[in-house]
Chains A and B, each alone.
Chain A
């Protein structure tokens, strides 16, 4: 019997606020002339900021979790950390993309509304305590994303990317749903914590086959959303085809949400079978590392290269899961956050160089950038070295933590496979630096910077943050550790 408890609404306050604000912006935008679109822009940013503040204010204490609506919705440490960074990266997407959209006549209210709804979906997804909430949040996110990818209706390549994304994404959602139904069949509940408690994972359990099949479908669905090989086929096309502003979003914020979903499903519900799924994830990790790093070398299109680089980073992320312990998940979350912050810089740089009628998405478009604008060449170099995992940049320490998780789990071979592919991956990041620093520019003139000052400042701060966080990454790591109650023994 489901009971409605009005106090539960307070637990949901940030989400409710964002929903209300989004609806209000939807209405306000209807009455705005295209020239007044900046109002939508700033309102959306304010909505995100206030939501972020509410999330931060209501953050639960260490190890504590507040459940609402009979456990459908959870507010715990992981949800808080992920929401803060989801909101932050979405805010960066807004800040970076205004000029880009305007030059392409895509500066429309839909962009903001779809992104806000997607953000709401991500917030639900990372807070989900029930298979239904997982699915609800996921669909809100992905349906908005399909539409966003197709935002540039006149572009054939965008439409192609959107259709691929939609067809494959729908397939993945279907698989996920199928897996959920099997698990429901085996356990009779949709609640993640109850599944964990009720499901009989022992070898002679009558439901074992059903649970195992359900688990496989969950893993496949999650791998699809994360973009882990061999379920990565959609990723390069979507990254390349979507407007860069949307790629930025798909490559950063939604990856954080996908991490949250994977963690909730695999550890939250199926933690009892972690001996099984860590093996599956180890295979996915090795494949992703191989496919991502090797294919990225052959790319000449920077967005496509970054897509393959994402796949390889997902491989690293999965190393954290293989540990199957709180430390490992904390390391993986730390990794995902670092990746999201690095990806925003890389895609932000593409938008910085882009002009009306010029996408700046080929690696050669960065030729001689150091001579045209040393500052932004430096920002991009920081992002590339960070993605490659060279200390003292942030990306290195993220790699350190997941490698440590894998080694602690006794999976030394996995760590060695990972570093071998990291060396291969080094090449294509260095190539971007090489093009910027060692090649002569095609156009000798100083880089014409976009007029949007907030974009330039935010991008610079974002780039420098990778350096600063490389020196002072302790607090962020502590936050991730606290969220997962590392070192605190709490019976689940």
Chain B
């Protein structure tokens, strides 16, 4: 009973929690505890999802739920997960707990609304990863803009209104084109099931149109160069918790969308236009890396580094297409998709941790400018240790999660074209440059000023948050096998599907 409705529970428990927090959270502490309990319960529920998911089973979609939603349109409340979704759902529930713990102190005004927005966002994100009906997916996909809009707008920095409007309108613009594509596919197939979409036979021209409709939606979400400009603004102005969720999970929705929509529904067009995406990814990796180098605002720097890292995700996904269809190399293709997925999970930990670190500093000095810091290691040794660890993961040091995904993607790209691999590998230099330079300026050296001298080291709450992220970074970095085993069958199925032309 519990297992058969586990996905619904995972989606709706945080939503119910959000309503409860609004209703009973008049006192800040009540709201915090209620939110924490809900998030913990959701996280606890997501563990059986992982444990009871049987990777070996075919077909790989499990925990299927299906209730007729709109019979007139043949739209269903249809949920189901494969290994890829399970990994992302567990990442979501895990990060949400940390975000709520992390916001315990810093958020002091309208606590209940903040916590409710966070919980609602969590439920919607799980819904995005669990939906197997395109209309339901779209509802969750768009619905999550509302809590994020409120989060940035109320608790954000000085330019929050500009940033949040830009965020909302930009992402809405992308997804609404996808909506037209989905309606078109509904006209062709008579239903909204993703499975039916994947099996619909589509001509080259149709596929091209659909491919670009999906590309706009997901490229903005990822975000890819050149439609990334909303991200630095949103990140800089968002409160720490908002930045963490945004970087760690919401960006993953874009990559997930490519895997769920673009590849299976429009494989031929994806192949034809893979060079567009690959070129955009490489530009993101190299050019955005340089942009990150010159940032003076720490959050902006990490935001740009996120774009560069997500470039690896899109690179891996679309290199896989070339590998399987042009080079006839399914093993390499699996490696590429796996690499992209590991990169997504890893980036979830690393970027979440980096933003949490910046949040810790910001809570003490209320500035994000690099020049206002310096020599933190002298006053906050524990914090410095964590920060250096995450920085190493950010530049892809072996032994951290950052290395695994990037290495797999580069390895796969090499099998397609050494040139692509060479350009992508460039990131190891630039990434190291901007991250290490950041660490040098902020963490090491002489104590920058009197204010820095007075900073206190981590308290228990911050310890938990950073410690948990550190554990994630190290576990995935040292022993990624459980993660890759979980996703392997889904990846295999995807690659197999890719090898078949649709026309």
Contact = CB atoms under 8 A, between A and B. Distances in A.
Interface in B165-220: 165, 168-169, 172-173, 176-177, 179-180, 183-184, 186-187
A474 B180 contact: no
A407 interface: yes
B482 interface: no
A392 B72 CA distance: 18
A13 interface: no
Contacts of B142: 390-391, 396
B146 A390 contact: yes
Contacts of B187: 404, 407-408
B153 A434 contact: yes
Nearest to B70: A474
B139 interface: yes
Interface string A25-48: 000000000000000000000000
B139 A438 contact: no
A419 interface: yes
B154 A426 contact: no
Contacts of B72: 474, 477-478, 481, 486
A416 interface: yes
Interface string B268-306: 000000000000000000000000000000000000000
A96 interface: no
Given A419-B179, A430-B149, A478-B72, A391 B172 contact: no
Interface string A390-406: 11100010001001100
Interface in A423-478: 423, 426-427, 430, 433-434, 437-438, 473-474, 477-478
A478 B168 contact: no
A165 interface: no
Contacts of B186: 404
Contacts of B59: none
Contact of B161 (A370, A390, A434): A434
A407 B183 contact: yes
Contacts of A481: 72
Contacts of A391: 138-139, 142-143
A332 to B, nearest CB: 15
A438 B110 CA distance: 12
B139 A412 contact: no
Interface string B89-117: 00000000000000000000010010000
Given A391-B143, A426-B168, A438-B154, A404 B183 contact: yes
A390 B177 contact: no
A430 B168 contact: yes
B143 A434 contact: no
B221 interface: no
A478 B176 CA distance: 25
A371 B154 CA distance: 11
Nearest to B174: A423
A255 to B, nearest CB: 24
Given A404-B183, A404-B186, A408-B187, A473 B169 contact: no
Nearest to B186: A404
Contacts of A473: 70
Contacts of B22: 374
Nearest to B142: A391
B384 to A, nearest CB: 36
Contacts of A385: 146
Interface string B119-156: 00000000000000001001100110110011001100
Nearest to B113: A374
Nearest to B68: A474
A422 interface: yes
A370 B70 CA distance: 34
Contacts of A478: 71-72
B134 to A, nearest CB: 12
Contact of B180 (A390, A412, A427, A477): A412
A261 interface: no
A426 B167 CA distance: 12
B160 interface: yes
Contacts of B180: 403, 407, 412, 415-416, 419
Contact of A407 (B110, B146, B176, B184): B184
Contacts of A370: 110, 113, 154
Contacts of A400: 135, 179, 183
Interface string B43-86: 00000000000000000000000000111110000000000000
Contacts of B143: 390-392
A407 B180 CA distance: 8
Nearest to A397: B70
B169 A430 contact: yes
A474 B150 CA distance: 29
A467 to B, nearest CB: 11
A426 B172 contact: yes
A166 to B, nearest CB: 40
Contacts of A407: 180, 183-184, 187
Contacts of A434: 153, 161, 164-165
B135 to A, nearest CB: 8
Contacts of B176: 419, 422-423
Nearest to A435: B161
Contacts of B153: 434, 437-438
A385 B186 CA distance: 25
Nearest to B177: A419
A427 B169 contact: yes
Given A390-B142, A391-B143, A403-B179, A438 B173 contact: no
Contacts of B177: 416, 419
Contacts of A404: 73, 183, 186-187
Contacts of B135: 400
Contacts of A477: 70, 72-73
B71 A437 contact: no
Interface in A341-390: 370-371, 374, 385, 390
A423 B139 contact: no
B71 A474 contact: yes
B152 to A, nearest CB: 9
Nearest to A480: B72
Contacts of A430: 149, 165, 168-169
A438 B69 contact: no
A403 B183 contact: yes
B160 to A, nearest CB: 7
A228 B187 CA distance: 28
B72 to A, nearest CB: 5
Nearest to B22: A374
Nearest to B181: A407
A481 B139 CA distance: 22
A438 B169 contact: no
A434 B168 CA distance: 12
Contacts of B70: 473-474, 477
Given A400-B179, A423-B172, A427-B169, A390 B154 contact: no
Nearest to A470: B139
B15 to A, nearest CB: 11
A438 B177 CA distance: 29
A478 B172 CA distance: 28
B279 to A, nearest CB: 26
A403 B176 CA distance: 11
21 contacts: A371-B110, A385-B146, A392-B143, A400-B179, A404-B186, A407-B180, A407-B187, A408-B187, A412-B180, A419-B177, A423-B172, A426-B169, A427-B165, A433-B149, A437-B150, A438-B153, A438-B161, A474-B69, A477-B72, A481-B72, A486-B72
Give the 3 A-B CB pairs with smallest separation, nearest first: A391-B139, A474-B70, A438-B153
Given A370-B154, A423-B172, A434-B153, 12 more contacts: A390-B142, A390-B145, A390-B146, A391-B142, A392-B139, A415-B180, A427-B165, A430-B168, A434-B161, A437-B150, A438-B154, A481-B72
Interface of A: 370-371, 374, 385, 390-392, 396, 400, 403-404, 407-408, 412, 415-416, 419, 422-423, 426-427, 430, 433-434, 437-438, 473-474, 477-478, 481, 486
